Structure 1
């Protein structure tokens, strides 16, 4: 793990349930967008052999304020291999969790169930609930494999709204054709206890530590929607893979396990 990552994702225990302080971003151009939301998962066992990946696999995309696809500098930013997105798991208590991943609030957390910033199982506080690859490197593509669902990069021309679809529709649609994109694909996340959760994603660049010798800032954050983790007997089954997931696998992200139309198991609704 690059130097400084453990301190960013694993905070010291808090004496109160208030969220840990956030380090202000020094790179306001950076935004994270949860391109593919997790919907459900089957609770896995405590051993590494029983892996039950979150379905569908969360896919996070980096967006740049006023991105110019004709600018080589902007394309170079998207291709920077030093970017990393880390993932944290938070239990959701009742219906009090915010429904918008960009809200400043965080899901309610029980300080006795969370240690060092990682949700942990009730029956064994030494066992983290989230297992698998919680840090992902960027996966860059020259053209988005699913332009119909692609967000537009935010624009400073429309400061009244942080919406990813601001601006005239004809400009939005044209800007997404053959547009490069950088994804962080969490294809290997499992959760060990049934319940309702959200994932928090944090964008970092370990190059800033090498270049400046200072602590690494969090450049952007995003939250997933709440999703449910089921006991084995209640799990409704896996969904068919999305166009985006199929395209990313064809473009070289071989860790994605895709299921064609009608090949998902179960077929119950979440």
Structure 2
């Protein structure tokens, strides 16, 4: 893990009672899409040996405004190995599983850039919380693939709003994924994951602080005590395809081998 990266997720409790409000990234062309949502997990123990991965493993995808699959420049962006996505864990209320307010989130500097010394702590989350990109020349599950957004001469939407999607062929379209196959949570409860896209190249090229290029939230998902966990689900077509394409860290379960199917 690059120096200072771990501090983005694991910090001492906040010393300021009212952190400044977050500011939207100026890099509006970048978007993150949670391609595979987490659904459930079994709470793991305090030691590193008791690992109970979130199921199914969250899979996040980069989308680019007005992406052109025929453009080498756009393909070069997707293939940039310096991208990384970090993951933060937030408990939410059972009665109101809302996205946390700005007061719930890590503070930022005056220029809207997340700092390596931000004051925030997520001690319940363990495993690989930062993932490198996994690029594929053709999406392994085009039927579930999102279309890249297009604003069609409109102003970019406010943060949190879904951009308009253009109708474009998704067959044989390249894609870049961040696959969180090794996340565990220590305590039962209801949670959301926040994903943040960054690029170490901006630090190497300019020497400035690393900006957050895009953010996305998972749906709320339940972490169960061991006795209540309903079991692991069958792997998705997307997960099986990504493993076949070389992401060996994914542990897949063929049809009918998962235990977490719907109960009557």
Shared fold (TM-score greater than 0.5)?
Answer: yes
Correspondences of 1:5-154 after superposition (within 5 Å): 5-10=5-10, 13-15=13-15, 21-22=21-22, 24-98=24-98, 105=101, 116-119=119-122, 128-154=123-149
Give how far 1:4 is off.
4.5
**Equivalent of residue 243 in structure 2, options 249, 254, 265:** 249
Give how far 1:20 is off.
6.0
Give how far 1:29 is off.
0.7
State the secondary structure of the residue aligned to 1:200: strand
TM-score of the pair, normalised by structure 2: 0.85
Mind listing any 5+ residue stretches in structure 2 that lack a counterpart?
106-117
TM-score of the pair, normalised by structure 1: 0.83
Give how far 1:28 is off.
1.3
State the secondary structure of the residue aligned to 1:247: helix
Residue 156 of structure 1 pairs with residue 155 of structure 2: no
Give how far 1:133 is off.
0.3
Kept in 2, the 8 Å contact 1:78–1:181? The answer is: yes
Give how far 1:108 is off.
5.8
Residue 263 of structure 1 pairs with residue 246 of structure 2: no
RMSD value over aligned CA atoms?
Answer: 2.5
Take 1:19 and 1:150, find their aligned partners in 2: how far apart are those partners? 37
Give how far 1:27 is off.
1.6
Take 1:76 and 1:201, find their aligned partners in 2: how far apart are those partners? 22
Structure 1 pair 19–267 and aligned structure 2 pair: CA distance change class (3 A) = farther
Mind listing any 5+ residue stretches in structure 1 that lack a counterpart?
110-114, 120-127
State the secondary structure of the residue aligned to 2:202: helix
Structure 1 pair 6–53 and aligned structure 2 pair: CA distance change class (3 A) = closer
Take 1:215 and 1:264, find their aligned partners in 2: how far apart are those partners? 44
Structure 1 pair 24–2 and aligned structure 2 pair: CA distance change class (3 A) = farther
State the secondary structure of the residue aligned to 2:53: coil
Greater shift, 90-99 or 258-267, is seen at 90-99
State the secondary structure of the residue aligned to 2:139: coil
Kept in 2, the 8 Å contact 1:57–1:187? The answer is: yes
Take 1:44 and 1:69, find their aligned partners in 2: how far apart are those partners? 42
State the secondary structure of the residue aligned to 1:84: strand
**Equivalent of residue 202 in structure 1, options 196, 201, 211:** 196
**Would you say how many aligned residue pairs link Structure 1 and Structure 2?**
248
Structure 1 pair 165–14 and aligned structure 2 pair: CA distance change class (3 A) = same
Corresponding residue for 1:223? Answer: 217
Residue 235 of structure 1 pairs with residue 235 of structure 2: no
Take 1:245 and 1:190, find their aligned partners in 2: how far apart are those partners? 18
